[in-house]
Amino acid sequence: MRTPPAPRTTASTPHATTAPPPRAPAPAPAPSTRTEAPGTAGRPAAREGTRGRPGWRLRFAVLCLIWGFSFLLIKVGTDGFAPLYVTLGRLLFGTLVLLAVLAVKRERLPRGVRTWGHLAVAAFLLNAFPFSLFAYAELHISSTLAGICNATTPLWGMLLSLVALSEDRPTRRRIAGLGLGFVGVLTVLGAWQGFSGQDPAGTVMALTASLSYAVGWIYVRRTLAHTSHSHLSMAGGQLLLGTAQLGLVTPFFAAAPDSLPVLPLLSVLALGALGTGLAFLLQYGLVAEVGPTTATLVTYFIPVIATAAGVLLLGEALTWNTPVGAVIVLAGAALTQRGPRRASAARRPHGPPRQP
């Protein structure tokens, strides 16, 4: 579903994109020790002092709702437009929101050919590619299943990080979490029934989108972790590049819409402006105020909200194995995120959160 890639900062930024972290997308972002959020550098106690304020909890709940409903919005959007146009619209409206905020804050987009080159790769892995895959997947599978597949991103990230990042050492707890998450995926898909009732192509696309988020965050962590640009600047540049990538490709692979049905159009607008633009700004503030550990807990609420939205508003069928499997997936993902050392947080990427 899943992007990418999301405080001073990739893309997030999206899982985005689903994500869903989506970090990320995630896979979820955390500020580097060298690049604190604006106004927080050198004041570690200030973050702890903000935890008691009620405002961040409300913003956290809003962020959970926005990203949880993203899969419903994708489903409705693909009822009226080709999947690539849904993704292009999502990136375009999200980019416009971030560029507007950049203009208000009088911040500039990143500079340097090398930085833009890395952002182009991040935009593909965290935004253009996974967003498109989730849109295509929801032509074949329910928004509920897409939301649950998005929750496998931490599992992919843990598996890949064992090879790609030397500081992430395998532990019994993390290996157990990976195995538990795999069991949860098989439970969701009803493996004992031969995966009957599930479209294999759509499921593979959704799982591949989640894998793309994980690959994207590892790439960002390796290439952009210590950039001097702000999270907002990096995310704006990343989404701008993702929009350009889809803008070049979409006309060759999808027919332009001959009409603009109201409900799908509003869904794409909300998916971009809220689910990609506003959601990043909310996550940006949460990471700065309460820290990355609390802020990235949104990952575990996304499939719950996606399931409720799909069942209640779209009338999607729900069998016992779907919620049970989702709980097992989330439990496995939680185990893999109980990292080896507190210091590892200091090495996480400087970029936007992963989006669903």
Is residue 172 a contact partner of residue 332, using CB atoms and an 8 Å limit? no
Give dist(CA 161, CA 180) in Å, integer: 18
Torsion of CA 229, 233, 237, 239, to 10 degrees: 130
Q: What pLDDT is stored for residue 17 in this prediction?
A: 42
Q: Which two tokens stand for residue 38?
A: 């604006």
Please write the tens of the pLDDT for every residue from 177-212: 888 888 988 888 887 776 666 788 999 999 999 999
pLDDT tens for the chain, 356 residues long, are: 444 444 444 434 434 444 444 443 433 343 333 333 333 333 343 444 444 444 888 988 999 999 999 999 999 999 999 999 999 999 999 999 999 999 999 999 999 999 999 999 999 999 999 999 999 999 999 999 999 999 888 888 888 877 765 555 667 887 888 888 889 888 888 877 766 667 889 999 999 999 999 899 888 888 887 888 888 899 999 999 999 999 999 999 999 999 999 999 999 999 999 999 998 888 877 877 887 667 667 888 889 899 999 999 999 988 888 889 889 988 888 887 755 444 444 444 444 445 56
Is residue 38 a contact partner of residue 243, using CB atoms and an 8 Å limit? no
Q: What pLDDT is stored for residue 338 in this prediction?
A: 58
Q: What pLDDT is stored for residue 293 in this prediction?
A: 64
Please write the tens of the pLDDT for every residue from 53-89: 448 889 889 999 999 999 999 999 999 999 999 999 9
Q: What pLDDT is stored for residue 128 in this prediction?
A: 97
Phi, psi of 37 (to 5 degrees): -65, 155
**Burial of 135: CB neighbours in 10 Å, binned 0-12, 13-18, 19+:** buried
Residue 291: partners with Cβ closer than 8 Å, 6 or more residues away:
30, 47
- Which residues are registered as beta bridge partners of 355? 17
Q: What pLDDT is stored for residue 305 in this prediction?
A: 92
**Residue that has been written with the tokens 């849904």 in this structure:** 86
Residue 266: partners with Cβ closer than 8 Å, 6 or more residues away:
none
